[in-house]
Structure 1
Amino acid sequence: MARRDISGQVVVVTGAATGIGRAIAGRLSDAGAIVAIGDRDADGAAVAASELRHGARGYALDVTDERSYTDFIATVTEHLGPIDVLVNNAGVMWVGPFDAEPPTATDAMLAVNVGGVIRGIRLIAPAMRERGRGHIVTIASAASKLAPPGESSYAASKHAVLGYLTGVREELHGTGVDVSAIMPGVVDTALAAGTDTGAARLLRPDDVADTVLRVLARPRFQTTVPRYVGPAAALAGLLPQRLRDVVLRRMVPDQVAASKDADRSSYESGALGS
């Protein structure tokens, strides 16, 4: 398969004022894409876009709000043209024991991590299908395949996203619209502050950004970062439950224990209202 060129394509990246999204936006802009950053922090989105190339722009976007998303799409299309690539990056995470999780945190994770992805695809993919081309990339998580203690609801949201993408991919088969899920381990961002990496190394936002660029050049459905996480999880799944438990408890970090003394209050109050 020939490598696809991202140059000149209009790319939307949600939740990209900081962190992984900001790294993705920067990498795609450097590759020649026309980037539209959408973020609840409209000022942060504008600042991030001002640091990019090729006429990048930043806009207010609340992925949990239908009107906000439709207005965002209309404005991006008016300013930059039809959307060629959607990168679903916006996501939030609460960490701790399942019975200590505030209801507001549960609701926020489902609304942003699941509802935001579904809303973006439902609103943007039909126009891609009509044009016969497009690419939907979703930053899921290794938690789409695994479920670390302390991240039960977060893992549930990411499992849901992978299930949704699997169905949508089949519906879009043969239309010219590609669907990709990128599933990184723990990345050095505010979202993951105070958590443990388990058997994998701590990733940088640029590691995820580089993966997005590679997947856009050569589309594939599922990509874990690091790559060995996917095959390792698949092999573990073939073991009898007792052996599987032993293997996964060595591979997957216990985030209840890891975050016990971590101060995540600043992040969680801002991102989750908890």
Structure 2
Amino acid sequence: MGRVLVGPVVAITGGARGIGRAVAAHLARSGARVAIGDRDLEQARASAGQLPGKVEALGCDVTDTSSFSLFLQSVRERLGPIDVLVNNAGLMWVGPFDQEPEEAARRQIEVNLHGTIRGVKLAAPAMRERGRGHIITIASAAARLSPAGESTYAATKHGVLGYLSGVRSELRGSGVQLSVVLPGVVRTELAAGTATGAARLLTPEEVARAVAGLVRRPRFEVSLPAHVGPLARWAQVLPQGLRDFLLRLAVPDQIAALADKRARHSYEERNLTGPESAGEEP
């Protein structure tokens, strides 16, 4: 693969596993100087050691302002001013809305929504002062669609899209770019046991390629697969009955798909409902 990128400093949250690790690998191979932040520092270090190029591993808890701020400051000290922040850390609980533990709902809101808000607030001012910078957020197709069984997760992703749309207006003309990636179901631990609906299963590497494309040529919104975004937008102009019928065909019912919760037990206990609740991975 040719060196598409030369030297930008990229900070990635939730970078120890899954999509974050794939993004780090892709950008590092392209010549970027990459820092991956994760609450699981041991895994972040292990991943950094396996990746090509210049990759630093640092601790980062996106739910804690001091931790997130220290992560960004450490990146600046070790690699230089941050050109790109990838807000990637995310969590998902799957099941009926009235069976969702309160702690699981709280964790999703804190990581997915507040974590993204925190990242923008901490990174954008320095970028604006420099007159350039790019914040790329890994959201989800659930920012425009709401699968049964993912209600809180979808709520956080809708919130992320709304927040970024507003901040984008405030940053217009500043040189700071905002982008949001809306993938469908990706083959990661977060999606264990879930269905893809009418769309195919994505790989973390496909999301990483989309992020690299945004680094080269920024634009606000990218859907994966590409047809999902237009489908979601066009569905909104249909009469409610027809819209519901179309979305039932296209959007997976995760409650029906997840007949056996054991497929997600280890992930959800570690990240959402257990005593540790330590990891983050979209």
TM-score bracket for the superposition, by shorter chain length: over 0.9
> Aligned runs of 1:1-274 on 2, under 5 Å?
6-263=5-262, 264-274=264-274
> In the alignment, residue 108 of structure 2 is paired with which amino acid?
M
- Given that 2:13 and 2:89 are in contact with CA atoms closer than 8 Å, whether structure 1 keeps it comes out as yes
What's the C-alpha RMSD, in Å, of the aligned pairs? 0.9
SS in 2 for 1:211: helix
Verify the 8 A CA contact 1:188 1:205 in the aligned structure 2. yes
Q: Distance in 2 between matches of 1:13 and 1:131?
A: 20
**Aligned equivalents of 1:162, 1:6: Cα separation in 2:** 27
**SS at structure 2 position matched to 1:49:** helix
Check the 8 A contact 1:96/1:151 in 2, yes or no: yes
CA distance in 1, matches of 2:146, 2:53: 40
- 2:280 corresponds to which residue? none
SS in 1 for 2:273: coil
In structure 1, distance between residues paired with 2:13 and 2:224? 20
Q: Which amino acid aligns with 1:74?
A: Q
Per the TM alignment, residue 54 of structure 1 is displaced from its structure 2 partner at its CA by: 3.3
Residue 239 of structure 2 aligns to which amino acid in structure 1? P
* Equivalent residues of 2:179, 2:221 under 8 A apart: yes
- What is the Cα deviation at residue 73 of structure 1? 1.5
Deviation at 1:262, TM superposition (A): 3.5
Deviations 1:41-99 (A, max 9, x none): 00111111122233210011100011111111221111111111000000000000000
Q: Distance in 1 between matches of 2:72 and 2:55?
A: 15
| Aligned residues with identical type, % of pairs | 57
Matched to 1:224, the amino acid is: S
Contact 2:32 2:54 in 1 (8 A): no
Once the 2 structures are TM-superposed, how far is the Cα of residue 16 of structure 1 from its aligned partner? 0.8
SS in 2 for 1:94: coil
Distance 1:6 1:88 in 2: 19
How many residues are matched?
270
CA contact (8 A) 1:96 1:260 kept: no
2:11/2:72 contact within 8 Å kept? no
